[in-house]
Structure 1
Amino acid sequence: METYSLLREFADSWMLLLLFCIFVGIGIWAFRPGGSKAFEDTANIPFRNDDKPAPDREAKK
């Protein structure tokens, strides 16, 4: 069997299964119950200085 045909057969069967399992694993990891606090903190980074503007760093130079 030539190399191309062997690799093509591998990619069509086992690699597809592996990539699907990785996709499902990432989905389960992203929606796990313990991860919501870390994701909430990361999502709120742009709003940390919402009550007052961030200090202007260029004015101090």
Structure 2
Amino acid sequence: MEPDTTYSLVRAWAGAGGLVLMVALFIGVLFYALRPGNKKKFDRLARLPLEDGDGPDDKTGDRTEAGK
């Protein structure tokens, strides 16, 4: 077997294996994200930026302002 042929064969198998791996990973992430058991968790996380909390302009926290 010539080196060019060996390289081409390894490259083809690596490309196909990488494609199969990425497709399997994509399907796994899709399954995790769309599973009904995660709906409550994702809904809570989606509302998180809109809830009142200890943001930079929140005066109710125990932060002290510099200079006062």
Q: Structure 2 length as normaliser, TM-score?
A: 0.62
RMSD: 2.8
Unmatched 5+ residue regions in structure 1? none
Find the residue that maps to 1:44 and give its secondary structure.
helix
Where in structure 1 do 4 or more consecutive aligned residues deviate above 2 Å?
Answer: 1-7, 53-61
CA distance in 2, matches of 1:39, 1:59: 35
**Amino acid aligned to 2:33:** A
> C-alpha offsets along residues 12-31 of structure 1, whole Å, 9 cap, x if unaligned?
21221111011011001101
1:47 aligns to 2:40 (yes or no):
no
What is residue 38 of structure 1 aligned with on the other side? Answer: 41
> C-alpha offsets along residues 4-44 of structure 1, whole Å, 9 cap, x if unaligned?
43542222212211110110110011010000111111111
Larger radius of gyration: 2
Percent identity of equivalent pairs: 36
